[in-house]
Chain A
């Protein structure tokens, strides 16, 4: 549904996005991760047809964005980071203004706006947008992004101004939209937020895509290289006896706990050996790299 090919954007001689190749399938909830200034928003601006790439191209639903930005805008919804509205108009009037650009009839607009305002809990709010709290603006932003019932939804830091209840509702909404077959592209620098809703992620750093896949795949790709070594954590009720296996490289012991580095996954053999020695095993597991740590390391690179 979304594809970029060698997508590049240069500002004042510096590449904000550098040769980005990305693919997001239909109905996916894709998390676009990266630290501030990594080029996430610039990528979204190119994908939404608001700026032209310096090089490469991007396609949404097979349409090349730079060649036909209006056609792309008709099928997408975009919630910008720190979304803004016309302060002299109510939420309903703001939505009505935007809806007019889609050629919707007055009846269609009224019905759609009522649905959306109810969905984001802003129905019955008669205040002008200038009097909205940041959270209310974010909710209205979500409503304006959905005004045309888009096929693809781009959300830039969508939970930035939401309270915990708002965040929970946002997550439910995203799940609901994905359930309807919409593709959701969520840009964020908060890993915890992305891992809650996204099935696949892409990690951007300094304008380049560092990794793409499921969170686990990306974490494994980014984990510090230790060859093919498998780290196994063992904990027993009794004092841990000596552990012997031809595949063991090293053992770090600490009372009834040990961290074993082995050439292969020897958990079954280890468990059997300990059982034969009459030792009760409390825990035996392969130690996966901590995703937060891995991403933090990647952010700092």
Chain B
């Protein structure tokens, strides 16, 4: 495989994408919505920062028993959290829009036969198409991040080096998510004879893995984990202390302790242990099924990058804030969601491989 031939195909594909009306319209929409939500995010960030400054000021002035408690400084990564929701929808549509007719259109217009009559191998064509598409999506992502960064600077919000690294990782994760649906669309385009069918098949997969799969995961979790344990009967007066909130995307639970004059009720402690096991079991089943959904993986990884505290609390509702230490850096945060990162890489790889194999064996009569 000669790289110059592959890049010739990729260059043409990239140019086709970024000049196509379809791409420009969807990208424009994505950037406008991105700019609006970044603006809202910046306003929220400024409010949080103001509140943080006030808290610091209050702490300095009062003899409050909580004086040792330090409020956390708001991160500018909260600004990017708002990008997650529309990236999964509009970004997904953009990825599908550029991929669903990449091969099928060439079959329909018979340009593939003309192209193949010139000196290049089939793998150079399919790889070139993939590289061109990845380039176009990368271009869209860079544009979205550049606008976000520009807006931050316009509003005098300067990211630190760590935050800048987190922004880049957020961009890379978002791109990986887009590639997942681009790969699905490319495969369907290779499998289908007509672009219309390719689009329908891609949308079916899109909705299946984004909506149906998490639902099935939740149903499977219900089925396999069984009924939740019953709380013990407590008749005497008690104090209930809530300690955690939720786990996973669909699985949520709460934990509470019953305390009698400083001593914990053993029955309640046993119930709490059973509940913990139950929630962990549910979460495990749900997580395994969610690994197949690029949306769920994207949410998990992007949340870990943009809001590590919430991410840590969601991943370990019973451990967070007690025996588990708060993650110290970006590497730790990413280490906790390595399976989701791996899934975000494996998912498009499988579809790219399927597209490759199918294209190499395609009947071009």
> Residues of A with Cβ closer than 8 Å to B?
41-42, 45, 48, 50-51, 70, 73-74, 78, 80, 82-88, 97-98, 100-103, 141, 144-145
Contact = CB atoms under 8 A, between A and B. Distances in A.
Contact of B113 (A42, A50, A73): A50
Nearest to A100: B8
Interface in B183-202: none
Contacts of A42: 365
5 contacts: A45-B365, A70-B121, A73-B117, A84-B111, A141-B114
Given A70-B119, A78-B117, A80-B114, A97 B364 contact: no
Interface string B109-121: 1111111111111
Interface residues of B, number: 23
Interface of B: 4-5, 8, 12, 16, 19-20, 106, 109-121, 364-365
Contacts of A85: 109, 111, 114
Contacts of A98: 114-115, 118
Nearest to B112: A84
Given A42-B365, A50-B364, A82 B110 contact: yes
A265 B309 CA distance: 107
A226 to B, nearest CB: 40
Contact of A84 (B5, B12, B113, B119): B113
Most chain A CB within 10 A, of B20, B116, B117, is at B117
Contacts of A88: 16, 19-20
A80 B111 CA distance: 10
B114 A73 contact: no
Nearest to B108: A84
A73 B114 CA distance: 12
B110 to A, nearest CB: 3
Contacts of B115: 98
Nearest to B7: A100
Nearest to A70: B119
Given A45-B364, A88-B16, A97-B12, A83 B114 contact: yes
A136 to B, nearest CB: 15
Contacts of A87: 109
A144 B114 contact: yes
Given A100-B8, A101-B5, A80 B110 contact: yes
Most chain A CB within 10 A, of B106, B109, B116, B120, is at B116
Nearest to A44: B117
A101 B118 contact: yes
A80 B109 CA distance: 12
A98 B118 CA distance: 7
Closest 6 CB pairs of A and B: A84-B110, A78-B117, A73-B119, A84-B111, A84-B109, A101-B118
Contacts of A41: 365
Contacts of B5: 101
Given A50-B364, A73-B118, A98-B118, 19 more contacts: A42-B365, A45-B364, A45-B365, A48-B117, A51-B365, A73-B119, A74-B119, A80-B110, A80-B113, A83-B114, A84-B111, A86-B109, A86-B111, A88-B19, A97-B8, A101-B5, A101-B119, A102-B119, A144-B114
A45 B20 CA distance: 32
A261 to B, nearest CB: 47
B12 A51 contact: no
Nearest to A103: B4
Contacts of B116: 50
Contacts of B113: 50, 80, 83-84
Contacts of A97: 8, 12
B192 to A, nearest CB: 17
A98 B8 CA distance: 9
Contacts of B114: 80, 83-85, 98, 141, 144
Nearest to A101: B118
A100 B19 CA distance: 21
B120 A101 contact: yes
Nearest to B5: A101
Nearest to A74: B119
B364 A51 contact: yes
A241 B62 CA distance: 143
Nearest to B16: A88
Contacts of B365: 41-42, 45, 51
Contact of A83 (B8, B110, B121): B110
B360 to A, nearest CB: 12
Contacts of B119: 70, 73-74, 101-102
B297 to A, nearest CB: 34
Contacts of A86: 12, 16, 109, 111
A164 to B, nearest CB: 25
B112 to A, nearest CB: 8
A95 to B, nearest CB: 11
Contacts of B16: 86, 88
Nearest to A75: B119
